[in-house]
Amino acid sequence: MYIEQAYKGLSDSWRYLVGLLVVFFFWQILGAFPLLAALMAKAGSLAVLGSADMGMMVDILGTNTLLFLMLLSFVIGLISLFVYVRWVHKQRIVELTTSRKKIDFKRILFAFSVWALVSTAFIVVDIVLSPEDYEFNFKLGPFVVLAIISIVMIPLQTSMEEYYMRGYMMQGLGMVAKNRWVPLTVTSLLFGIMHVFNPEVAKMGYGILIFYIGTGFFLGILTLMDEGLELALGFHAANNLTAALLVTADWTAFQTDSLYRDVSDPVLGWDVLVPVFVVYPLLLYIFSKKYKWSNWKDRLTGPVASEATFLAENNGEREL
């Protein structure tokens, strides 16, 4: 009963509405200040901020500094979310994470390992089949710095997205809608829309949103079927970490000193559709067998228990 974990704190709808706005402000507005300040200091002019695209920011700051400052906004957002949940909702972070008594780090590691292997295999196969599309980009010094930044910061970045979208927002929408399909649908669509300003969309068109929205539904299904964020946390961290370390391109959100650079002219193709319609269903099947999922309809679309019912089943106690 993951959504119902919100009842263990203060679950008034106004707390969620204010929380979404407050955390968004810290994440997207205050979190951007270090990057803006660094650009101004390096460029020596406010005018650069109005015209700076990804390529210009890389030229001004360098890839690793830019990556660190971009990821820092997510860390600021994650801290603000945890503080707000603890002090305004009086909810423990474990209850924002899972319906289990404690966070299952083995689940996080399993999902991370599975997707790191699969995504790495896809990249290796594509390099072997289309070597003309890639340039070997390895430089020891910059790559070591990239690896340190990525290993430390990217799991925090992906955790922010998961806790905000499939944690906090999913529990809040579940409290309001009193069912599971509304939070699943809304958070999945918003996850896709959230990526609309990524440079990949500008380069490949809005059709790539199929991948982002499909990924949102996949992660939402993981969360509801497994009654916790652990699998989604592991998967998302593996996805972004392998992307940052293995392959970069001038048209991606992460422009890094990775092992390879994709120099092809990207087009929408099988690499967008296969993960959503083939790979993700196979992963859901694997996870369902490993963790013995059942009752799919109720877990994904069924009602959310009332507060009175939930508290009665938990000895009438809130863990404030």
Confidence of residue 41 (pLDDT cuts 50, 70, 90): confident
The answer to the question of residue 320 being in a domain is no
The answer to the question of residue 122 being in a domain is yes
pLDDT digits (tens, 9 = 90+) for 48-96: 665 567 778 888 889 999 999 999 999 999 999 999 999 999 999 999 9
252 and 195 in contact (C-beta within 8 Å)? Answer: no
Question: Which pLDDT does position 10 carry in this prediction?
Answer: 95
Confidence of residue 267 (pLDDT cuts 50, 70, 90): confident
The answer to the question of residue 178 being in a domain is yes
pLDDT digits (tens, 9 = 90+) for 158-170: 999 999 999 999 9
| pLDDT above 90 as % of the chain | 76
**304, burial (CB in 10 Å: exposed 0-12, middle 13-18, buried 19+):** buried
The answer to the question of residue 127 being in a domain is yes
Kindly report which listed range (108-122, 167-181, 242-256) carries the lowest average pLDDT score.
Answer: 242-256
- More reliable by pLDDT, 20 or 314: 20
The answer to the question of residue 135 being in a domain is yes
pLDDT of residue 319 exceeding 60: no
The answer to the question of residue 295 being in a domain is yes
The answer to the question of residue 319 being in a domain is no
Tell me the average pLDDT across 230-253.
93
What is the total count of domains within the chain? 1
Query: What b/e readout covers 66-87, taking b as 16+ CB neighbours within 10 angstroms?
Result: bbbbbbbbbbbbbbbbbebbee
